[in-house]
Amino acid sequence: MVDHSLDRLPVAVIGAGPVGLAAAAHLAERSVPFVVVEAGNAPASAVRAWSHIQLFSPWEYNTDPAARRLLEAAGGWEEPDPSALPTGGDLVKQYLQPLAELPALAPHIRYGATVTAISRLGIDRLRTAGRENTPFVLRLDDGEELLARAVIDASGTWHQPNPVGANGLPAHGEREAAAWINHGLPDVFGADRAQHAGRHTIVVGAGHSAANTLLALAELADAEPGTTITWAIRAADPAASFGGGSDDELPARGALGSGLKMLVDTGRVTLAANFRTHSVRHLGDDPSRDQVQLISRNPDGTEQTLTGDRIVAATGFRPDLHLTDELRLEMDPIMSAPRALAPLIDPNQHSCGTVTPHGYRELAHPEPGYYAVGMKSYGRAPTFLMLTGYEQVRSIAAALAGDMEAAQSVELQLPETGVCSVTAGGEALAFRLGLTKDQHEQLLHATAKHLGTSSSAADAVLSAATELGIDHTAALQLAAYAAEQFDAPGATGC
């Protein structure tokens, strides 16, 4: 007879991304048996998909304390400079891959195993008696079933992008035009360059992904004549997308918004405000040549249209909730997040830096032992930082180990808008643009020299950039961010 008692079963962690591996590290430290089930063939498969993107948070906010302790104890690992800004590729190569290869974790990670459903052994959602003492069963795509005493679901949202349609539903014709639409963060300087170089790209969305893509496309336009960019947003005013600028405690995040503002103010990006995509129509049969059209339907019945060669849907992601249909979950009807967590992460009230620290209590459900963590725990809210996910799994691992004092002591200091220096932000943006620290400093000094004879700070920066041989678009992005340093509100003008 098979012994299915809970105390003999492992904790199942779904997903070997940053938060899933952090959960494994905390469980390993506490000697709690675990298994990590990862759909990809290597750790952090979603991060690898955006390996070309630089994070706006430095290393100090992207590594987990338990993971660092395990890496340091194993020897041979060199911790990255905490103030440096990694790319997704850096995150994998310098942190996540070495973490997944540790002897404490590697034997417990199963790759190429996709979880398709979670339930309880031998009972469905209707059965109450003895439920909390019944093992979880995780069904894999090959039919195999795994048993677990608890589930930490860090499966993320990467494979569930939001549609282009403005009402949360796919726009009419969106599925038929899928060959013309990129979701997420295309690599416009690498694998996806041919799709955008010398063509008109329409970027839909107003978050950090949209800003990253727009800035990259602007740089591509400098190198590839005929590259044009339109930015379609539902709002009447793009100000919310520009963020805290030089007041942002994460300099690279502030730089991102300031650079985006410059692109709009100087006309390098055409803004289509009040654009609510109702339908998508492709104007031909060959994705390599023909165009696609977006149609916005206004409340008064009138329509706006945008025609381009490619659409980038930077509209965010949402969790796949079908996985847990047989579990008893209490979800907020708006956020699709745990009910107790939802008011703490509501994007109408919070940025990613003002989210209240939270742990196992806020993530718990009527289904004892199941916790969604990381991006998935935030549901439809886009306010997630990795550091928040690390604190989530620290608290949950403590609770599963029976250390309730540690589980209940949830503390986290997040970076928020308010106390950042312009110079640090400029350095962050300069790094993203491929400029060295010396080039950034030379540009600042040369710009100061030209200010007295220029009509605006933007003109001064352009003169300095010409003198130093620095790309004009890169220089103007720096000018947009450094406007306050030069005391020139018109620095984004041209």
CATH number at residue 195: 3.50.50
Residue 485 lies in a domain: yes
Do 403 and 426 fall within a single domain? no
- The β-bridge partners of 270 are 230
Domain co-membership, 116 together with 65: yes
Q: Is residue 244 part of a domain?
A: no
**Same domain, yes or no: 75 and 147:** yes
Residues 396 and 429 in one domain: no
- How far is Cα 459 from Cα 241, in angstroms, rounded to an integer? 25
**Same-domain check for residues 148 and 184:** no
Tokens of 439: 């080039």
- Residue 476: domain span: 422-492
Q: In degrees, to the nearest 5, what angle opens at C-alpha 432 toward C-alphas 428 and 436?
A: 75
Same domain, 153 and 13: yes
Residue 339 lies in a domain: yes
Give the C-alpha separation, 252 to 256, whole Å.
6
Closest among 130, 47, 151 to 92, alpha carbons compared: 47
Same-domain status, 199 and 57:
no
Three-state secondary-structure class, residue 224: coil
If asked whether residues 40 and 142 sit together in one domain, one would say yes
Angle at CA 329, nearest 5°, toward 327 and 335? 135
Per-residue confidence in pLDDT tens, the chain, 494 aa: 345 578 889 999 999 999 999 999 999 999 999 999 999 999 999 999 989 887 767 888 899 999 999 999 999 999 999 888 888 999 999 999 999 999 999 999 999 999 999 999 999 999 988 899 999 999 999 999 999 999 999 999 988 999 999 888 999 999 999 999 998 789 999 999 999 999 999 999 887 788 778 888 988 998 899 999 999 988 877 665 555 444 444 444 444 455 677 777 778 889 898 899 999 998 876 655 679 999 998 878 889 999 999 999 988 889 989 999 999 999 999 889 999 988 888 877 755 556 777 899 999 999 999 999 999 999 988 778 888 899 999 999 999 999 999 999 987 766 653 222 333 445 555 665 667 767 766 776 677 677 667 766 567 777 877 888 877 766 666 655 444 333 333 333 32
Confirm whether 151 is domain-assigned: yes
Same domain, 305 and 331: no
Pairwise CA distance, residues 171 & 281, whole Å: 10
Q: How many helices (H) and strands (E) does the chain have?
A: 17, 16
Distances (CA, A) of 15 to 82, 146, 178, 268: 25, 15, 27, 40
Can you give the length of the chain in residues?
494
Q: Give the integer Cα–Cα distance in Å for 3 and 20.
A: 27
Q: How many domains does the chain have?
A: 3
Final residue in a domain of this structure, among 265, 288, 313: 313
98 CB-side CA count, 13 A: 21
140 backbone dihedrals φ, ψ, rounded to 5°? -95, 165
Which residues, other chains included, contact 300 with Cβ-Cβ below 8 Å and sequence gap of 6+? Answer: none
In a domain, 281, yes or no: yes
Is residue 67 within 8 Å of 24, Cβ to Cβ? no
Q: Where is the domain boundary, 374, 408, 442?
A: 408
Sign of CA pseudo-dihedral 344, 345, 350, 355? positive
In a domain, 183, yes or no: yes
Query: Is the domain of 145 the same as that of 10?
Result: yes
Closest of 370, 392, 264, 378 to residue 326, by C-alpha: 370
Inside any domain, residue 173: no
**Could you tell me if 183 and 53 lie in one domain?**
no
Q: Alpha-carbon Rg of the chain, whole angstroms?
A: 24
